[in-house]
Structure 1
């Protein structure tokens, strides 16, 4: 078994910064395997993948990334084009958005003219092709043709060239013999108009050359080529189509580059000279089993965009061997579930829909980011486990990882290698039953978690005994019946959380919050789902136990908290909403919001993801909104958050969205049990270090600590205490979980002078103390 480990050729350098306050703290983790389009310009190859672009310098083999962190919108890219004259990349999107990225410039221009056109249906705004002629860009869209001026960076006229001036899908345009030709879909045929005409806006000036459906039209020297949906390529001579070739696969792209014509099909790239003589033909290789999507060439090489391997570079004259080129990244830009641990991140791609329907089943594998880069494991390498979702790392053996499959069972890994697929033949897992289909096997394993005794707890949908424990040390399984609280079928479970005392909390689709206590062999089982119990929806989506053992509950229609979990099985209990004051009015926090995930950090603050409102970061009690990240004010590629995971050791928040994966370096970390490892950095603080903004960090402190900073003579400079000087409170010295931040200022709010400073740490619970010395050089 050979895993595909992709390393970038050089260190990836961002092109620019996103214009918002926290740009330097964000990082994109996008996939560049599935390439939408490849274009050439300025000795570089530009490749669009999903909502991101990467740029390959053909002379140095250096690569750069252009993502939401640099300022892209995060929408789905449909086409790109480079302008040599203006040294810029034009990016078109499926929703009609247009963006311009300038060479050697940090700014990205976003243009919403098409998006804002109310006369055009949202489904018809897709940009299909850019045709650049000097300063004019003819934009082919699903409604017609729009004109954009690169000199003025503004839109001009729009041409509706269908019959009677109706909207019609235009796939591509070309300028030939003073005419602009348009290849149209839906029976629109090939249409043309005099390019110099001042009345192109009048549909009557566009004449039909031929009827039918056409994918593309391209001019090369003194010839015009046309691609039909019938897999044929034609040369148009005096507006008469002469068939040149019938392709075995439907052509996808046709471009003119370097006095050559390049035609891409899913299995081949054909390169012709200006007499339509074939000079090169690249074919899909058995070593890279994929589909081609687009291609471009330079004087020596063919650069082929693929669905699975980024760009494949091969010799133009002898296209036999391929070199795989793309930045590091996960398999896909559709992360479903993520799990972080110190210096590691695991990603799966699910999936099931809102109603826990996994069909159509997917075969997508999983990804693992470690200190050396991304390791991508394919479906075949993952023992053909389908619909992979929750990832759980064994805290007692971190090289052992379990990944739930919502069809095939439970996948067990060791050191990145899939070892066992636990299913109905070799474990306590069981398949759902379909009447009349006794041989049908469908094991829908969902959320899982380890308890303090090293048992892995999982939940399986559509069976009478959904809750199961697995002991990895002896391979023993145990199952628990839920028919007393789930008399009918339950389609799925959203989450599982386990208290230190062994009580298990389960989020269900139809039966609200379920609590389970094994209770020394006399199990306690209870659910709350009624309106009088203050549950806003029976569909509970996510759970999180905070540092005070309060259970935070996300539902399809809002947020709730179970403040006292110890009385759940004894009394008639209800959960509480959080009431905040906003503009003098009392409101329910996240009222009616679809909550997708809740995570608790070292400061007991809460990261809460939503299905369409982005990511929130709340104070420990939910009364203060510290951050609210959306795609409009941050590098989030989408407001639809699918999962959140924390690398508490490094203070990194990983955020999975419907259009890609990003991370935010929040800086907070988990507290430690003692002060033994406490340290301060940077040390010394040198003149070039911006201490006010970047701050001195006092790391690996304990949970309940007092910190005093004095000068060498004992004068108090700053002081903080856990749960008092919390971060984002505006203090000079702030504590965030296991890390304290000092902005270098004294009690008078002035930056301190050069000298030696003492940092005195005192654990308020154990009375342990530690003194650190810090040198400041101004």
Structure 2
């Protein structure tokens, strides 16, 4: 047996008495050999929100706080540093919709889309100290529907919260809800309130039923709809914003400019024909137009970074803009700087792809609906590598990438787009066009010979819908019997499996390019036996079996080579005495290095064992950091086993406990190493061959733990067979092949 680590057990054991344990731990703690921060920690979650969709901003002492649709962060202007904030820092939820600083109390009020309120006490420098949470709005059973908090307007000791169900009055000194105004629309109808403003002796509310106003006085019952009157607006004026500044009220009038309420009528006081909105600051209004911000004194800024401003504050000699396209902007004079943390450009992705040997994950914005139309259009795609996100742009024209695959033969990533053809990407230079003529590409895959297969869906009979790009660069066309191909998969024997559009009858077809045979598979016994014709996902596992996700659970084709002979009926794994996920719509499938099945549905994410009979984990938005239980796409980075999950409300990743096995031992990685006192997760051993036996021994030579690898990874929960926590010391890790002929050894330091 050989060991690929510095020193075997026999060489290390005698050295222990001659050196103090403290000295040995010191050496390991300061050795870069044992620190690999880029690895995903098994069993832990990582949020990947877009910080560009900024919605709200607040100046808090010496810091700026900003929230996007799913992200939250603070920015230190002096240090030019952004700090990400999340539930791990004590905040209640994700989905911040409103920030407002209560300067006299040094507290930041944080409103969420759910109706939850956090009151964050800050230090003199604006750093978080502690959080108090108010859930009265969120938990109010008498309020149905959305409880989103849109905007906060403060007067005296009261904060008026504009919500999707009405107005909530919060006493900020007593930290209690003093009143709620619901059903204040005409004749007592329910209205959503987007903003409130105070001017003269009145309170104004921009609502889903127009602009409402009431006299603001102690004698007026604002909870009574009769106290509120509809204020006529200029033709085409928006009702989602109303601004009160200097005891005057203003609105934006499309095509005209800023209008002020004077003597019971609206007067345009500043002409801005291209006006798109109106924002309040502490001292003035700011109008928005394409690439522009304007204020009463004239122009403030004209810059292409200004996309869709949502809020603006002035602090530290700069204007700070929450822009839903560009993130947090710092405007100093005529200089504009985007200062949001790095992250994907969007929270909505239709496909994920793990590409290349350098642990790259691509998040693709484009996709095909059942009608074979794109869901959205954007420039480029997002790449995650070594813990950082980068938005990779193509040209000035939108390119809606919908699929990607890595070809190890030429070491390039190929991307298919809707309307932009086929592209290739090396990871260094911008993507390059390979073939513009292939307009709409729904799927790409690479066969064992290193040749690229493409699906170009069409409902026209006889049109080429599948092509292969040979190594020479030549494209060879094929015309299967059905052309509405949404996904391609190459079986071990070279047959091409295709997922078909549910909008055109659904089902699947298998194509043999050697003979041009095609077989359609549906839900009839003997003709596929699918649980449902609507097929949403398809994947080949490590044993060559084809797993299929439908609107009625999962099916498996366990003999793909015999698909053209006789009857074909997929089998359905049995779990908990039922067909696997029967009745659930399965939207995404992925196979990890241990051949375990990750299954995304509209009701959460499941992890099953290799044959689908044992449930290992079930994650939902209620029991995990998933921003939504509706899963859109899955992809697993093979080297470290990190599982990326695209939901309808954002992107997250999970440190998996399985990775792709290596073909032969070359060296093992133990992470984290050393284990520090505050660590409570799983230690992972990586770089293993299939079915490796891993033994962990203490310094006295006693066996502490033994397990087998899941693919190329094994994990230890830092407890022995009796459940006792590992004590401070040096532990030795032995990894041995299943036949016992090869092995590696490593050291692990545990500090408690």
Secondary structure of 1:36's counterpart equals strand
The offset of 1:475, in angstroms, is 0.2
1:359-378 superposed matches below 5 A:
362-371=377-386, 373-378=388-393
Q: Per the alignment, in what secondary structure is the counterpart of residue 453 of structure 2?
A: strand
Distance 1:634 1:416 in 2: 38
Shift of residue 535, structure 1, vs aligned partner: 0.7
More divergent stretch after superposition (446-455 vs 191-200): 191-200
- Mapped contact 2:206–2:242 kept (Cα < 8 A): no
Please give the alpha-carbon distance, in whole angstroms, between the structure 2 residues aligned to 1:128 and 1:751: 48
* TM-superposed deviation, 1:210: 5.7
Measure how far apart 1:674 and its partner are: 1.9
Equivalent residue runs for 1:164-563 within 5 Å: 164-177=187-200, 179-184=201-206, 188-197=210-219, 199-207=221-229, 214=239, 216-221=241-246, 223-229=247-253, 231-236=256-261, 243-257=268-282, 259-272=283-296, 278=297, 281-286=299-304, 288=305, 290-298=307-315, 300-315=317-332, 319-341=333-355, 342-358=358-374, 362-371=377-386, 373-378=388-393, 380=395, 384=397, 386-398=399-411, 400-414=412-426, 415-424=428-437, 429=438, 443-462=439-458, 464-471=463-470, 473-483=471-481, 486=482, 490-493=483-486, 495-509=487-501, 510-518=505-513, 521-532=514-525, 533-563=528-558
By how many angstroms is 1:774 displaced?
5.0
Supply the distance in 1 between the matched residues of 2:449 and 2:185 (Cα, whole angstroms).
Answer: 70
The answer on 1:603 being equivalent to 2:594 is yes
Of residues 578, 581, 601, the one that matches 1:587 is 578
- CA distance in 2 between counterparts of 1:78 and 1:577 reads 44
Distance 1:407 1:595 in 2: 28
RMSD after superposition: 3.3
Shift of 1:476: 1.8
Report SS of the residue matched to 1:308. coil
Distance 1:106 1:573, change over 3 A: farther
**Segment of structure 1 superposing worse, 33-42 or 327-336:** 33-42
SS at match of 2:449: coil
Bigger mean CA offset, 236-245 vs 588-597: 236-245
Task: For residues 531-579 of structure 1, give each alpha carbon's deviation from its aligned partner in whole angstroms, at most 9, with x where no partner exists.
Answer: 3242122232221222222221112332111123232222312111122
Q: Which residue of 2 aligns with 1:672?
A: 662
TM-score, reference length from structure 2? 0.82
The 1:516–1:768 alpha-carbon spacing in structure 2 relative to 1, beyond 3 Å, is: farther
Alignment of 1:37 onto 2:37: no
Q: How many angstroms does 1:634 deviate by?
A: 1.7
How far apart are residue 328 of structure 1 and its match? 0.4
Return the alpha-carbon distance in structure 2 between the equivalents of residues 327 and 497 of structure 1: 37
1:158 partnered with 2:147: no
Distance apart, 1:69 and its partner CA: 6.4
Partner SS, residue 525 of structure 1: strand
Aligned to 2:564: 569
Q: Is the 8 A contact 2:661 2:687 kept in 1?
A: yes
State the distance in 1 between where 2:241 and 2:398 align. 40
- Structure 2 unaligned blocks of 5 or more: 1-40, 122-127
Q: Relative to structure 2, which stretch is displaced further, 709-718 or 293-302?
A: 709-718
Which residue does 1:18 correspond to in 2? none
Q: What pairs up with 1:84-163 in 2 under 5 angstroms?
A: 84-92=103-111, 97-100=115-118, 102-103=120-121, 104=128, 109=133, 111=135, 113=137, 127-141=149-163, 143-150=165-172, 151-154=174-177, 156-163=179-186
- Which of 742, 745, 762 is matched with 2:716 structurally? 742
2:377 partner SS: coil
Structure 2 CA distance, aligned partners of 1:756 and 1:269? 61
- Asked whether the equivalents of residues 535 and 548 of structure 2 are also in contact (C-alpha less than 8 Å), the reply is yes
Cα contact 1:514–1:526 (8 A) shared by 2: yes
Deviation for aligned residue 1:120? 5.7
User: Do the aligned partners of 2:251 and 2:260 also contact (CA within 8 Å) in 1?
Assistant: no
Which whole-Å CA distance do the structure 2 matches of 1:767 and 1:351 have between them?
48
| Distance in 2 of aligned mates of 1:169 and 1:543 | 42
The change in CA–CA distance for 1:299 and 1:751 in structure 2 (over 3 A counts) is closer
User: CA separation of 1:512/1:423 partners in 2, compared to 1, >3 Å: closer, same or farther?
Assistant: same
CA displacement, residues 462-482 of structure 1 (integer Å, 9 cap, x when unaligned):
1533222113x4102222221
Question: RCO higher in 1 or 2 (8 Å CA, sep ≥ 6)?
Answer: 2
SS where residue 662 of structure 2 aligns? Answer: coil
The whole-number CA distance in structure 1 between the counterparts of 2:524 and 2:719 is 52
Task: Note closer, same or farther for the CA distance 1:100–1:249 as it changes in structure 2 (3 Å cut).
Answer: farther
**Cα contact 1:187–1:211 (8 A) shared by 2:** no
**Residues 290 and 306, structure 2, Cα contact 8 Å, conserved in 1:** no
* Residue deviations 1:161-207 (CA, integer Å, cap 9, x gap): 33333334544323345x34114457744512234236221233345
Q: Which position in structure 2 is the counterpart of 1:4?
A: none
Query: In structure 2, do the counterparts of structure 1 residues 175 and 126 end up closer, same or farther at CA, with 3 Å as the change threshold?
Result: same
CA distance in structure 2 between the partners assigned to 1:668 and 1:547 by the alignment: 13
Contact 1:264–1:294 under 8 Å retained in 2: no
CA contact (8 A) 2:394 2:430 kept: no
CA contact (8 A) 2:556 2:571 kept: yes
Query: What is the distance in 2 between the residues matched to 1:161 and 1:751?
Result: 60
Contact persistence 1:700–1:738 (CA under 8 A): yes
Change beyond 3 A, Cα 1:686–1:404: closer
Deviation, 1:321, is 2.4
SS, match of residue 204 in structure 1: helix
Contact 2:212 2:228 in 1 (8 A): no
Task: Find the residue that maps to 2:335 and give its secondary structure.
Answer: coil
What's the CA shift for 1:72? 6.0
CA distance in structure 2 between the aligned counterparts of 1:198 and 1:385, rounded to whole angstroms: 54
Indicate the SS of the match to 1:352. coil
- The 1:116–1:768 alpha-carbon spacing in structure 2 relative to 1, beyond 3 Å, is same
Separation in 1 of the partners of 2:653 and 2:622?
Answer: 16
Aligned positions, number: 689
Residue 385 to residue 504, structure 1, CA distance change in 2 (3 Å): farther
User: How far apart in 2 are the matches of 1:64 and 1:715?
Assistant: 44
**Whole-angstrom distance in 1 between the partners of 2:115 and 2:738:** 56
Where do 5+ consecutive residues of structure 1 fail to align? 1-21, 273-277, 430-442, 723-734
| Distance across 2 between alignment mates of 1:686 and 1:185 | 55
Q: Is the 8 A contact 2:196 2:206 kept in 1?
A: no
Alignment equivalent of 1:688, drawn from 677, 680, 684:
677
Q: Distance in 1 between matches of 2:351 and 2:339?
A: 27
